[in-house]
Amino acid sequence: MKRLESIDDLEKLRKAIIGKNKAYIKTVALCGGTGCRAYGSESLKNAFEQALKEHNLSDKVRLIFSGCHGFCEQGPIMIIRPEGIFYSKVTEDHIDLIITETLIKGNIIDSLLYEDPTTGEKMVYEKDIPFYKAQNRIVFGQNGSIDPTNIEDYIAIGGYSALCKVLNGMDPTEIINEIKESGLRGRGGGGFPTWQKWESCRNANGNPKYLVCNCDEGDPGAYMDRSLLEGNPHLVLEGMLIGAYTIGSQEGYIYVRHEYPWAWANAGIAINQAREMGLLGENILGTGFSFDIDIARGGGAFVCGESTALVASLEGRMGEPRDKQHLHTVESGLWEKPTNLNNVETWANVPIIINNGAEWYSKIGTEGSKGTKIFSLVGKVKNTGLVEVPMGISLREIVYDIGGGTPNGTKIKAIQTGGPSGGCIPSSMLDIPVDFDELTKVGSMMGSGGMIVMDEKTCMVDVARYFVKFLKDESCGKCLPCREGLKRMDEILTDIIEGNGSEEQIELLHELALVMKDASLCGLGKTAPNSVLSTLQYFRDEYEAHVIDKKCPAGVCKDLITYSINADACTGCGACKRNCPYEAIEGERRKPHVIILDLCQKCGSCMDVCKFNAVVIS
Amino acid sequence: MNSRTEVKTIPVEIDGFQMKVDKGSTILESAHNCGIHIPTMCYLEGLSPYGGCRICSVEVSTDGGKTFRVSASCTYEIHRPIVVKTDTPKIRRIRKMLAELLVASAPNVKLAQDIAARFGINKVRFKMEDNRCILCGLCVRMCHEQMGGKALAFAGRGPEKRVSAPFAIRSEICLNCGGCDSICPGKIIPCQGIKIPGELCGKCIRPDDMPFCCPTGTFGCFCENNPLEIVSQPR
């Protein structure tokens, strides 16, 4: 790779790459995101490459092993451009068929198309699929069309043009103004105005100044930061470069957890390529501006997403938050120097704002929250995956229009947003707009963007205990309210779930939660009781059913339920008897079967295999 | 008074008293200096504030008393005018709950008993445990800051957090100075009055005589009575 000496060089290179890519008649983008790799897309890629060679198509068809496309449930995903044909659940057996039919003859293979689970209609093109239709993928959309390990791909789609625009005579104050007008707020969960952070870091005394990109995403089930850094690392680098130019920093770090192997590998490749091209390092594009980035791999502690704990971990100390309210990291962060810390998604938004202008960006979203937000939509919905939606969209639209509703048409009970520190929003509030302030108002939070849909078969006490247990293990243990409080909360919730709870314990739980919220040292402890507080607020009847009636309304908590067979519905097929691992079912063929309660371990396998809905929980 | 010293002091209101304090001093120091008592657990003069126990929590307002936020007073350095309330119903509620959490986890530590007694806790609503270490971190800070060694540190996280020598082996840099041992609140002989789990007598008196080595073997001492797995390595 030749080092670029000026901004003109970059533009020339861009034209050359676009010209070179015109030689390809078709481009096949195979998803190499974490979800699709788990489905085996890596071996699929190798087999496809081999097959292309055999068909002598290597110079006509370009295979891209791209980043995450978002629709992880349908993986491995393959998109054939320029038509935009969307194939889902592709396996190695389909390769020859795809090459001979679609790539050579131009026919569409019906069996690989995505079928709308609601209407049963088959969709040919990516743009028609309802999952993508309702989204606004300004940040995440580029993922599917580039190879993250190839800087040329990123340059071809207009990459680093925002950097050129900035270096071509934008004043740092002008950039801060642009970010201010765009209304960009921190995507890590706090929602702090990005421009304010940048400005105070720029004005802070001290040299050098550091830039940190926070990719220590640890929420169970959330993976948008990971997918962005895996699928489009140059976008994050470009954002950081613009930030560095604005703040006057020369050194940056990407803090990424070690458990994200492709994220740090791809980011490392991207950094090396950018360095070789002169887009990172000394004298970037011949403008005299210097900035370099290093990758720091974290040990996988959830608390290290907290800014002061992250800084401690970066310095090589134990990942513990420090308690200094009067000093913000922008004044005294890494090695007590001014440090500007932003989330991956925040950095990725920066080049988009600079390219399209603050006015365009601020048109998306609500009064207080601008732009889009990537959520990881999981739980009891038909379409799970990563969705990027404009701020202000209602929860209902996300769950029903994009997610397609619940799989069996059951009623939605609650939606949990914001990861383990967020709260549960009841279904009666499905119409609230999703933005930073509205979610906080109802007792939840935006967080980094986890969104778990729960239906009638979810026990809210069990959900609260799950998150409390997670946080209990992830708490750093420094401060008493968080360490002891979470341990006690877990104990009380376990008591309630096991049927040993009392009404006083519910009160104690509430009292404890309020104290933890006020007294804890860092954000983890302050937000940890959210799941308990919100479920107590909206689903108190479930708690009461557990302690007073000793019943679990959702039929989840094993100690409070019994399985039985409805003799009228049972046909005596014997399926349950054969499948019961504990031999707890008796009965003659074609006669109603009975569950022996002493032997029953409440595993639920009889219920899963019964075709006549004869197994009931009470 | 010349202008240079004036810049260095900041007007502060603590519990209705107006005062001027040195810039950079903490709320806890300022309050103690003017006779306002704030209870503490993990704080000790001469060691850096840790902010772990949160028992010294107070309500702080930076906007002249309109909105208050709860903050630990030991780590809060005063750099601009603030209003502080050290004894509000909210603060009392917080301290009482923290004392209950503390004594439930370490009922046989004198300091935990004292704090519980001070807040009038006679019954603990949580399940009683018998930890000897209250994770105040005094020994760690003593070792690092006063003795210049790093023979002790925290290990693990969450409920697994503990004070340990590196790899639970006695460190070669340990000078056997006994600083950690002398400062440990867990080594003071606890009240022997508790018989029923969950009951506290609330009448603790601090004993004058301190044992020669730590009787509970929390972490400080490396004698053979130490029940922990920290073993001394033959040199």
Q: Give the mean pLDDT of A538-560.
A: 89
Question: Quick check: B77 and A484 CB within 8 A?
Answer: no
Say whether pLDDT at B216 is over 50.
no
Find the mean pLDDT for residues B144-155.
Answer: 88
Nearest CA in chain B to A504: B125
Over residues A363-390, the mean pLDDT reads 90
Mean pLDDT, residues A587-597: 87
Domain map (residue ranges) of chain A: 20-128, 151-361, 372-455, 460-547, 562-617
User: Region A109-118: what's the mean pLDDT?
Assistant: 86
Exposed (0-12), middle (13-18) or buried (19+): which is A182, by Cβ within 10 Å? Answer: buried
Tokens of A155: 């340059």
DSSP, res A145? G
> How far apart are alpha carbons A289 and A277 in whole angstroms?
14
Instruction: Name the residue among B52, B77, B93 with its Cβ closest to that of A326.
Output: B77
Reported as type and span, the H/E element at residue A517 is helix A503-519
CB-based contact A484 B70, cutoff 8 Å:
no
Mean pLDDT of all residues belonging to chain A: 89
| Closest CB from A301, A478, A511 relative to B97 | A511
Between A480, A485, A491, which is nearest B52 by CB?
A: A480
Contact A521 B153 (CB under 8 A): no
Which residue shows structure tokens 């000496």?
A5
pLDDT tens-digit map of A484-531: 999 999 999 999 999 898 999 999 999 999 999 999 998 889 999 999
DSSP string, B105-135: H-TT-HHHHHHHHHTT--B--SPP---S---
Lowest-pLDDT range, A15-24, A545-554, B225-234?
B225-234
Q: Has residue A351 got a pLDDT over 90?
A: yes
CA-nearest residue of chain B to A507? B125
pLDDT tens digits along A146-157 = 999 999 989 999
By C-alpha distance, which of B144, B143, B96, B146 is closest to B122? B96
Q: Taking the complete model, does pTM exceed 0.80, yes or no?
A: yes
Structural domain spans, chain B: 3-87
Give me the residues paired with residue A452 across strands: A378, A416
Query: Is B158's CB within 8 Å of A474's CB?
Result: yes
d(CA A55, CA A386) in angstroms, rounded, equals: 35
CA angle, residues A510, A513, A515, in degrees to nearest 5? 110
Q: Model confidence at B37, in pLDDT bands (50, 70, 90)?
A: confident
Output the CA–CA distances (angstroms, integers) from residue A334 to A66, A463, A537, B153, in the order listed: 34, 37, 40, 21
Residues of chain B contacting residue A504, judged by C-beta atoms under 8 Å apart: 125
Q: Residue B208: is its pLDDT beyond 80?
A: no
For the cut 50, the answer to whether the pLDDT of residue A412 exceeds it is yes
Report the gap between the CA of B209 and the closest CA in chain A (Å).
29
Task: Determine the CATH number of domain A562-617.
Answer: 3.30.70.20
- Candidate from A325, A477, A487 with C-beta closest to B157: A477
CA distance A79 to A215: 28
Over pLDDT 70: what percentage of chain B? Answer: 77
Q: How far is B24 from chain A (nearest CA, A)?
A: 10
Who has greater pLDDT, A372 or B132? A372
Instruction: Find the range with the poorest average confidence among A195-209, B134-148, B162-176, B194-208.
Output: B194-208
Fold of A151-361: Rossmann fold (3.40.50)
Torsion angle (degrees, nearest 10) of CA A555, A558, A560, A565? 60
Lowest-confidence region among A99-113, A503-517, B165-179: B165-179
Residues of A in contact with B159 (CB under 8 A): 472-473, 477, 483, 487
Q: Which of A175, A141, A173, A170 lies closest to A158 in space, CA to CA?
A: A141
Among A313-317, A553-557, B150-154, B219-223, name the one with the lowest average pLDDT.
Answer: B219-223
In this prediction, residue A421 carries a pLDDT of 86
CATH architecture entry for A372-455: Roll (3.10)
Q: Is the pLDDT of residue B205 over 50?
A: no
CB contacts of A320 in chain B (<8 Å) are 154
CATH among 3.10.20.740, 2.40.50.140, 2.40.100.10, 1.10.10.60 for B3-87: 3.10.20.740
In this predicted structure, what is the pLDDT of residue B192?
A: 56
Q: Give the best residue of A325, A490, A492, A498 to mutate against chain B (max B CB count within 10 A).
A: A325
Q: Is B138 on the interface with A (CB under 8 A)?
A: no
pLDDT tens, residue by residue, B54-84: 999 999 998 988 999 999 999 999 988 999 9
Q: Which residues of B touch A301 (CB under 8 A)?
A: 157
- Asked if the model's pLDDT at residue B206 lies above 80, the reply is no
pLDDT over 50 at A447, yes or no? yes
Chain A hits for B98, CB-CB cut-off 8 Å, are 480-481, 515, 519
The 3-state secondary structure of A353-392 reads HHHHCHHHHHCCECCCCECEEEEEEEECCCCCEEEEEECC
Least confident of A135-144, B27-36, B108-117: B108-117
B123 touches chain A (CB under 8 A): no
Half-sphere exposure of B210 (CA within 13 A, CB side): 11
CB contacts, 8 Å: B105 with chain A: 484, 487
Q: Which residue of B has its CA nearest to A479?
A: B52
| Residues of chain A found within 8 Å of residue B23, distances taken between Cβ atoms | none
- What is the per-residue pLDDT across A563-586, written as a single tens digit (0 to 9) for each? 888 888 888 888 888 888 888 888
Across the A/B interface, how many CB contacts are shorter than 8 Å?
104
**Interface residues of chain A, partner chain B, Cβ below 8 Å:** 301, 303, 318, 320, 322-327, 472-481, 483-488, 491, 504, 508, 511-512, 514-515, 518-521
Please name the fold of domain A460-547.
Answer: de novo design (two linked rop proteins) (1.20.1440)
Q: Looking at residue A448, what is its pLDDT?
A: 79
- pLDDT recorded at residue B217: 29
Distances (CA, A) of B123 to A367, A491, B114, B115: 50, 18, 14, 13
Smallest CA–CA distance, residue A472 to chain B, in Å, is: 6
Distances (CA, A) of A136 to A231, A402, A448, A603, B104: 18, 11, 18, 42, 52
- Residue B212 clears pLDDT 50, i.e. is over it: no
User: b vs e for B123-145, b when ≥16 Cβ sit within 10 Å of the residue's Cβ?
Assistant: ebbbebeebbbbbbbbbbbbbbe
Q: What is the pLDDT of residue A508?
A: 93
Domain A20-128, CATH class in plain words: alpha beta
Residue B188: predicted pLDDT: 64
DSSP collapsed to 3 states, A471-499:
HHHHCCCCCHHHHHHHHHHHHHHHHHHCC
Contact A477 B154 (CB under 8 A): yes
For residue A297, pLDDT over 60 is answered with yes
Nearest CA in chain B to A520: B54
ipTM at complex level: 0.84
